[in-house]
Structure 1
């Protein structure tokens, strides 16, 4: 099992790969059988590295300028907790929502499981109401 510094390095490399759109770098960071659990996005079934890359591509299609900043990382054993700030402008579709041109900024939390030297699993959650409100998709927003 990697030590805390190695896990932090994995997460820094993940953050860098996502923000630079260099998804090929994920091959060295994320397990081929990676699983992502998220009640907020039940239509995205991520059960492999390739599924995860496709999820990130779809996210970038809707928010091409998105930046994810890992504000806090806590490592214990084979688990790493994260608190992340997401910022981006919706210039493409987001699920059923057409491009709004609006900027969003929200935080989300997650827990990764590390297996060997790769990220193997992620549980992630956020408040969809915050995002939908910022996009003007709720009555009165």
Structure 2
């Protein structure tokens, strides 16, 4: 069953590729943790900066689990590495990585968000990390 809170969270991912539109579903006084930044401005900046090297970033929501006003999201992203990321020049490689987000929704807006992204997998897939020990 799709609750109002889950619908807000689902909409977040539909428009996350357009950080300037996040005001639609995110409260202006957002409290952010971990990868989300500390507030709405940092969240928008973080997403915008991530879209430079990965402009075709596409989320696949795998699980949305709700308890009270909290929605936990396990998702997978796919994208193509098309510009410098963490000092690694564009490789043209496809990446697929997991993310876990926890969002608190009140009155139709996300008021708190915690994001954990699998950066190790991204760095490995774009060739920034060795893939095997020498023989």
Q: Could you say whether these structures have the same fold, taking a TM-score greater than 0.5 normalized by the shorter chain as the test?
A: yes
Residue correspondences, number: 131
Instruction: Find 2:23's aligned residue among 22, 27, 31.
Output: 27
Whole-angstrom CA distance in 2 between matches of 1:90 and 1:83:
22
- 1:15 matched to which residue of 2? 13
Residue segments in structure 2 that go unaligned for 5+ positions in a row: none
The two structures, once aligned, show a CA RMSD in angstroms of 1.9
In the superposition, relative to structure 1, how do residues 33 and 75 fare at CA in structure 2: closer, same or farther (>3 Å)?
A: same
8 Å CA contact retained: 2:59, 2:77: yes
- 1:127 matched to which residue of 2? 118
Whole-angstrom CA distance in 2 between matches of 1:95 and 1:35:
25
8 Å CA contact retained: 1:73, 1:81: yes
Query: Which range moves more in the overlay, 67-76 or 115-124?
Result: 115-124
- 2:64 matched to which residue of 1? 73
> Displacement of 1:74 after TM fit?
0.6
TM-score, L = length of structure 2 = 0.86
Residue 88 of structure 1 aligns to a residue whose secondary structure is: strand
Runs of 4+ deviating beyond 4 Å = none
Structure 1, residues 80-125: CA drift from partner, whole Å, max 9, x if none?
0000111001111212222221110011212111233211111222
8 Å CA contact retained: 1:33, 1:47: no
> Displacement of 1:50 after TM fit?
2.2
Whole-angstrom CA distance in 1 between matches of 2:20 and 2:116:
25
Structure 1, residues 39-75: CA drift from partner, whole Å, max 9, x if none?
xx5xxx7222222111111111010111012111011
